[in-house]
Amino acid sequence: MPAGYDRGRIPSLLERKQAWIRAALERAEATRKFFEPRSSWRLPMQIHLPAIGRVFQVEARETGAAWVAVRTAEPGIIEVRGRISDERLCRLALTRWLARLTREYLAPRLQTLSAKTELRYNRVFVKQQRTRWAGCSRHRNISLNLKLLFLPPALVDYVLIHELCHLAEMNHSQQFWMMVEKHCPHHRKLDAQLREMWKLVPQWIVSLESGNGSPI
């Protein structure tokens, strides 16, 4: 509590905010389970990206290189080559590959929705936030979490519209939610679904080395 806060107001405050508190606790629990360490590492055999309607088969090729690279060998197949035995290098390479796909597919989708809603942003960054699907800054920059690739398209659009609306209302006021509903009438249902979607994100994704993300 802030210094000097009236303790007598706490019960009514908790009563009014109980839905928000419950949702925050659920998100925290989902995040905790998501980031629990795994006992063993194994290169994925298949990567499903619902956001762009693509499924990739993974082919591994060990070489004497000191690095790991990911490339599209042919449609629907990616080749992971290099020091495959190094878990960290494999995970970093796959995460950077996801960042490239985010720039290629989701940034144009954001631009389309921006034109449709007439809510204009400044720049787009691809990041890998731990607990947020996207973000909007006071500089009118929007950051896209590469984990969005694992969401269904309807949820991706909801997240993008949500952040675009923050360009007009940098809060979660009634005016903000009215704007979200204007552009996404089913946002309440989608928001409820979104809280459970962290479980779709594989645990082999790691934090990118650049804390500020990559601009587009």
| Judgement on whether residues 20 and 46 belong to the same structural domain of the protein | no
pLDDT tens, residue order, the chain (216 aa): 777 788 888 888 888 888 788 878 777 766 665 555 554 678 999 999 999 999 999 999 999 899 999 998 888 999 999 999 899 999 999 999 999 999 999 999 999 999 999 999 999 999 988 889 999 999 999 999 999 999 999 999 999 999 999 999 999 999 999 999 999 999 999 999 998 898 889 888 876 544 444 443
| Judgement on whether residues 198 and 103 belong to the same structural domain of the protein | yes
Bridge-based pairing of strands 54-62 and 77-82 is parallel
Question: Residue 46: which region, alpha, beta or left (left: phi > 0; alpha: psi -120 to 50)?
Answer: beta
CATH of the domain at 181: 3.30.2010.10
| Judgement on whether residues 69 and 141 belong to the same structural domain of the protein | yes
Please report the DSSP string for 19-73 in residue order.
HHHHHHHHHHHHHHHHTSPPS-----SEEEEGGGTEEEEEEEEE-S-SSEEEEEE
| Judgement on whether residues 62 and 150 belong to the same structural domain of the protein | yes
| Judgement on whether residues 176 and 113 belong to the same structural domain of the protein | yes
What is the count of structural domains for the chain?
Answer: 2
Distance CA 92, CA 108 (A): 24
In a 10 Å sphere around its CB, with 0-12 CB exposed, 13-18 middle and 19+ buried, how is residue 27 labelled?
Answer: middle
| Judgement on whether residues 132 and 174 belong to the same structural domain of the protein | yes
| Judgement on whether residues 64 and 5 belong to the same structural domain of the protein | no
User: What domain range includes position 16?
Assistant: 1-36
| Judgement on whether residues 153 and 186 belong to the same structural domain of the protein | yes
Half-sphere exposure of residue 104: CA atoms within 13 angstroms, side-chain side: 9
The pTM score is 0.77
| Judgement on whether residues 51 and 22 belong to the same structural domain of the protein | no
| Judgement on whether residues 29 and 66 belong to the same structural domain of the protein | no
| Judgement on whether residues 63 and 166 belong to the same structural domain of the protein | yes
